[in-house]
Amino acid sequence: MRVLLTGGAGFIGQHVHHQLVAEGHEVTILDSFRPDVHAQKPTPRPGLIVGDIRDADCVAQALEGIDTVIHLAAKVGLGVHLDDIDDYVSTNSLGTAIVLKALAHAKIRHLVYASSMVVYGEGRYDCAQHGQVAPGPRRTEDLEAGRFEPPCPYCGAPLQPGLVSEDAALDPRNAYATSKLSGEHLAATWARETDGRVTALRFHNVYGPGMPRNTPYAGVAAIFRSALERGEAPRVFEDGRQRRDFVQVRDIATAVTMSASALPQQPAFTAYNVGSGTVRTIGDLATELAHVYDGPSPVVTGQYRLGDVRHITASSDRLKYDLGWKPGYDLATGLRDLVVSGNRR
């Protein structure tokens, strides 16, 4: 299979590229080497095109002879500052539209699109009296008082968090999340109009070897790791009990390559959660990292960010059932792999 991998020089992209090559596929990488992610641009080499997905001519060139496209290229991050909103829309929404237009002209009919769990906003919650409910926005006065758990919007009772499925309501809470969901909608439109197929992979919290350092792209695992490498304790916001699904990047790469090779009988648009399937907390992550680094114990600060969600954890059963994917790492083994890989550099 001849694959175009956009964003193939990034954190996840490098692992996907390695997996594709190991499986015997022929891969072309298209990456802009954004200066906010990459310190320098490489010298062009066979199989690598240095260019922007918003450059229609560059994308058309990259698509020559390609069978399948894996679209990872994006501006990622928290997306909470309005100063960045135009960059998110330009890179993620417009960039995806330009890729889709080029796919239509090139008569390529299979796309794997990197989406994110952020399209859900908050996760699933159930009230003992009112069943499944959507909690309202988090209130500053509650957070200031250390009341971090969202109450039932009808009776104020405590809620039980659960796993989100792909059929859950979508509620993007920031510019990044909105731009990723926009990409899903654009890709679904492309599929309907071209008789194509889209597999949208909603990645949960990805960590592992090659995680970016000291950039807006660094997730909480990278932030904790950087603190420990400085000899400092990881600083955990709220009470540390925020529920997440941490998935190792090598498991993500396997899910991507399996999706790229999926049978053509799949529907025009299919979304899959990609998570470990194990609920852990932010505090768990900090504690596990401190252990593998033999560093100081985490400090729970009680600080908060108003735009953060409290709990978001996934059910990846659909991906396991449809494609036979299953994660190979739990949090402890995944973090040990992260440290060992870092020490080999």
Domain ranges for the chain:
2-124+162-343, 131-156
Instruction: Give the global pTM.
Output: 0.94
Measuring CA to CA, which residue among 156, 166, 175 is closest to residue 124? 166
DSSP 341: H
Over the Cα atoms of the chain, what is R_g?
Answer: 20
Whole-number pLDDT of residue 13: 96
Between 307 and 216, the more confident residue is 307
The average pLDDT across 93-108 equals 98
3-state helix, strand and coil shares in percent for the chain, rounded to the nearest 5: 35, 20, 45
pLDDT digits (tens, 9 = 90+) for 274-332: 999 999 999 999 999 999 999 999 999 999 988 789 999 989 999 999 999 999 999 99
Whole-number pLDDT of residue 264: 72
Measuring CA to CA, which residue among 109, 31, 150, 64 is closest to residue 266? 109
The average pLDDT across 134-147 equals 93
For residues 122 and 164, give the distance between their C-alpha atoms in angstroms, rounded to a whole number.
9
pLDDT digits (tens, 9 = 90+) for 115-132: 999 999 999 999 999 999
**Residue 215: pLDDT band with limits 50, 70, 90:** low
State both tokens at 282. Answer: 């932010």
2-124+162-343 is classed CATH 3.40.190.10: no
**Residue 342: pLDDT band with limits 50, 70, 90:** low
DSSP 31: E
For residues 123 and 311, give the distance between their C-alpha atoms in angstroms, rounded to a whole number.
6
For residues 265 and 160, give the distance between their C-alpha atoms in angstroms, rounded to a whole number.
38
Whole-number pLDDT of residue 214: 57
